[in-house]
Structure 1
Amino acid sequence: MQVNINGIETRYVLSNEGGGPWLTFIHQLGGDLSVWDQLAGYFRADYTVLRYDVRGHGDTALSDKPFGVSDLSDDLAALLDALGAPTTHLVGMSMGGMIAQQFALNHPSRVDSLTIADSTSGTLPENRAVWDQRAHAARSDGMAALLSSTLNRWLTPDFQAAHPEAVEQIRDVLAHTLPEGYAMACEALRDFDIGSKLGTIRCPTLTVAGRHDSGTLPAATRAIADAIEGAQFELLDAAHLAPIEQSHRFAALLETFLARPV
């Protein structure tokens, strides 16, 4: 399905067989909504499950001007408005986790719970150059130049060997991401910094990290939990895409978290 959100044609998939509370999944940089196929299938009997492509990714159009993570959170708010969702549980991975945090700050009354995987609350000054380098590589050499290093950062060697079809799907999405969309998102993540505001988040929060994540160290994800009162932190035997690599364990954690009394 497509809908125009803030002037951008946006792709989304809505699975509401269960007719239950809204549950929204937000993908990583260089990904699209398909990364959540398995988890969406797991939860759609009990929740109204929403997945969508962030601007400049998948089949969502590219922005015509620079944007920040706050703009991406406003895209989500407009999408929920268009679909008639007053509130939602949010699950965000990597870039999606940054969007989810920003959404919880910008639209606190609309968040039923927050699940953040393999993410951070901001880019340290010494790491800003990494985002500039990735943006430059995408623009100058295309996505092919980033495939190998990104997949090795995202998934452990054991997972890549055991699940070649899953890896190929993730690789294909990354390879077909618009280089300019990827680069503009890199610049948005470079400038992201909401660490000092996390303490104002009051919704139930779960954070999950991959033990072998070399791109976003587990300590960065744990720090989000430490800053939000009552938040829970879990460590999985995975790399950067922990909810995908350990999908059964992540689903069990999320199911228990969502079912707990508020």
Structure 2
Amino acid sequence: MEIYKKCLWIGSIFLLGCWGCKKKEEPVHTPETKPPVVEVGTRKLIPVQLGTGKSKVILNYTLQLAIQKITNEDGRAIVITYDQTGKPIELERFKNEEPVSGTSYELDEKGRVITGTTYKIKGSSYMQTGIYELDYNKENQVIKISYFDINNRKIAEQEKSYNHTGSLTIEKGITSSSNYDYDLKTGLFKQISYLWLLQLEKENNLFPSGMNLFLSGVNNIQLCNNLLSPNMQQSFSYIFNKDGYPETINATIDGVKSAVKVTYQEIK
């Protein structure tokens, strides 16, 4: 009997020891720590103001996101009129709310601008100043502009080339020849249509120092190199916002440096 009790006591000690060992071997569970989620900007933005003070430029758009009006603080402005299908039919320039010049557009059956008739305005009188005709490639990009005087005599011609993203890279004419380089970031005017028309009309003089910002469609212009006039160069660098759009434009134009802030509006 004593032997039985002794064996029972030893067996109990052994079992308690095993249970204690197993308990110590159980892993300690700690709360799972998930890495922080970094939100990448996915908003679609359109620029509504460039610059401040006397150099401020305000931009207004149609519901189809085509530029409708650009107003410079110095009193200059352009207004573009579109037809019911959203195609441009008229561009007018104003000074202190008075019309001074413009271009009337003729469209082909595809809705493309094929002719621009330019004119000046003095009081209530309109005077035609010339005509230009546009040729397109299969991607519907303008590859040639032919200029004519009021007597329909050809006075100039310009050819255009583009890169694989659709950005203008080369312009060649009788009196000018330019190359353009771009970054790979989201363009300032990426969401805007008919930007090329404003570049063609040379409306960049509305921007501070005549910055060629209408070239910043798909990507942002970095260098405008005038091959026939090396002193007339423009170079750009950018600071981007969290959505990947330029929020500060740093420009060097004819050796003069300047910076322009951009204000955006989100589109849904």
Bigger share in helix: 1
Kindly name which structure, 1 or 2, has the bigger radius of gyration based on alpha carbons. Answer: 2
Report TM bin, short chain.
under 0.3
| More strand, by proportion | 2
TM-score by length of 1: 0.28
